[in-house]
Structure 1
Amino acid sequence: MADRSNSADVSEPAREFRRAQVIANPIAGRGRGSSYARELTEGLRAAGIETELLLTAGRGDAGKRACEVAGEVDLIVSVGGDGTLNEVLGGVGSASPAIAQLPLGTANVLATELHLPRRVEAAVEIIRRGRTTPLDTSQVNGRLSFLCVGVGIDGFAVREVERRRTGAITKLAYVTAMARVLGGYRPPQLSLEIDGVPVDGHFGFVLISNVRGYGAVFNLSPDCRHADGLVEVYGLRSGSIPALVKMAAVGMAGRLPGRAVEFWQGSRVRVTAPEEVPFQVDGDFGGAGPVDFEVSGRQVRIVVP
């Protein structure tokens, strides 16, 4: 298991963007994604940046368009939530356009952490300044992750949200899904391996994170660095409802790990169980079964204030 250095996140030299692609989820922001994206596009054009706009029509559109233009533009702007941003980051592949976000989603985890503005005028201004910071990306069972992966209770809840989803997701949808899951909940028995080293015993919940906040509600380790090639791993031995409540209370009132969970750092994580256990990837349902997580070594540049 790797040790973390004390180096801080490092900003990169400012850039002047000349050509941009705006990719927007039109139903984000309670249906305001379309109007916000058009306003943003006009603002970037007024700032002298040649800009095209795509309004997505369904899941996968953002990643497909990002892949198509990644080698042709020096900036892609994601308008929407963490899911839209995940698609964009996955779509650019090995290309190196900078990525900006106008956060209009439910949690906006990365935007909250990086203090990204929700106002169009402010977003145009930080893009015009051209300051970026690197961000690690990881692979989870072949899928991109840049925020966190949860195995256990949140996987069950996110799967429930996905089953009942009919449009944009609200915070209430997560709350009601969690309430349904907790009724008769039986925690899994998870085995954990970090950087090839098995951890003794079993766990009822495992969280793998590259950010300092979880769901825009819980506070995680302040030692997190977004671009050091490592992630934080939080393990809860008992996944019982009282243990989960205690973990949530510590995360809301202070910072995990505290005494609520065990804590490691590493670049490769494997989670297994005797049965298939649901997991979430960056807030979306990722599937069920063993989880193989690895920091990919590919970083993206995020536009920041």
Structure 2
Amino acid sequence: MSTKLKLIMNPIAGGGYALKILPEVLRILERNSYDVELFKTTMRGDAQKSAADPSDDCQVVVAMGGDGTVNEVVNGVLDSGRDVSVGIIPIGTANVLARELSVPIDYEKSCNIIINGNTKRMDVGRDEHRYFFLMSGVGFDAEVLKLLESSRTGGISMLTYTIPILKTFWNYDFPRFLVEVDGKPLGEGAGFMLVSNTRRYTGPFIITNQARIDDGELDIFIFRGEGKFTLLKYAFGALFRIAHRFNDVTYVRGKEVNVQSLHHKNVPYQMDGDSGGILPQKFTVVPAALSILAPE
């Protein structure tokens, strides 16, 4: 008996690589008794709408693309209220969730993870509107993404981040904001902040080895320093997994995080690499919300 599977694919992911390998992916899945319904995205939001389709009776939804496609699929599945399993065929720039879950980047091996059918329950975070599975960043990285999205004309590669990162590095003014975790004020003076659900941030950066996707908590990092040298120090600390040891970094864990800006500045935040909005905002954890296909 076949298993119904919806494959939601971003055809421009990987510079068109997703489209190139699509016939082989379909062959592998169909050969293993999957009845595949293919959906190709054409614009932002398509993947979420498709994953949330109330008429679907599929048992598995697979995101084929980068972390942005995965984020939309996760939001769609959770919005639908259906308890279906989500799989990943990673064809993106960073593939952070795939790396966090040890899902292979090789498409044949990632298809085998789906076929094997081993699932894990995974926490997700959310603001007042959307879910995130990796992290939310307040301040610096959100400014980078705001610049990137204002000038983006096509797909994303590591090179497309270079100019937005450099511009933000030179111009970032370290806006101050207030943080409260589980009702406890942590004082004012933060200039950059991460609310993380996973160990990995992006690329080679692992913020902390203590974060777990199934511990029912968020890992919160509050960076209080200022200046260009301090930003480089934080990057060094993240690269070597020691940022939480710095005197001007506060690391706590919690279930609810409230953040508001001081001096009425419009401080942006991002979620899973896409712009989220501006402060004030509340972030909460939703324990064991998602069934994700992953290696044992």
Q: What range describes the TM-score normalised by the shorter chain of this pair?
A: over 0.9
For residues 17 and 300 of structure 1, what CA distance do their matches in structure 2 show?
Answer: 23
Correspondences of 1:1-305 after superposition (within 5 Å): 18-68=3-53, 71-93=56-78, 94-259=81-246, 261-274=249-262, 275-297=265-287, 299-305=289-295
Amino acid at match of 2:255: S
Amino acid at match of 1:108: N
Give how far 1:152 is off: 0.8
More displaced 10-residue stretch of structure 1: 213-222 or 143-152:
213-222
Q: What do the CA deviations read for 1:235-283 (whole angstroms, capped 9, x no partner)?
A: 1112322211111101112343122621000011011113110111101
Amino acid at match of 1:261: V
Give how far 1:226 is off: 0.3
For residues 171 and 189 of structure 2, what CA distance do their matches in structure 1 show?
Answer: 21
Which consecutive aligned stretches of 4+ in structure 1 deviate over 4 angstroms post-superposition? none
Give how far 1:298 is off: 5.4
Give how far 1:69 is off: 6.0
Amino acid at match of 2:104: P
Equivalent residues of 1:210, 1:225 under 8 A apart: yes
For residues 301 and 97 of structure 1, what CA distance do their matches in structure 2 show?
Answer: 7
Compared with structure 1, are the counterparts of its residues 248 and 270 closer, same or farther at alpha carbon in structure 2 (3 Å cutoff)? same
Give how far 1:103 is off: 0.8
Identity of matched residues, %: 34
Equivalent residues of 1:71, 1:97 under 8 A apart: no
Compared with structure 1, are the counterparts of its residues 278 and 239 closer, same or farther at alpha carbon in structure 2 (3 Å cutoff)? farther
Give how far 1:105 is off: 1.0
More displaced 10-residue stretch of structure 1: 290-299 or 78-87:
290-299
For residues 45 and 166 of structure 1, what CA distance do their matches in structure 2 show?
Answer: 35
Equivalent residues of 1:70, 1:92 under 8 A apart: no
Equivalent residues of 2:122, 2:287 under 8 A apart: no
**TM-score, length of structure 1 as denominator length:** 0.91
Q: What root-mean-square deviation, in Å, do the aligned CA atoms of Structure 1 and Structure 2 show?
A: 1.7
Q: Which runs of 5+ in 2 are unaligned?
A: none
Q: What do the CA deviations read for 1:190-218 (whole angstroms, capped 9, x no partner)?
A: 11010111112311111000110111221
For residues 272 and 44 of structure 2, what CA distance do their matches in structure 1 show?
Answer: 15
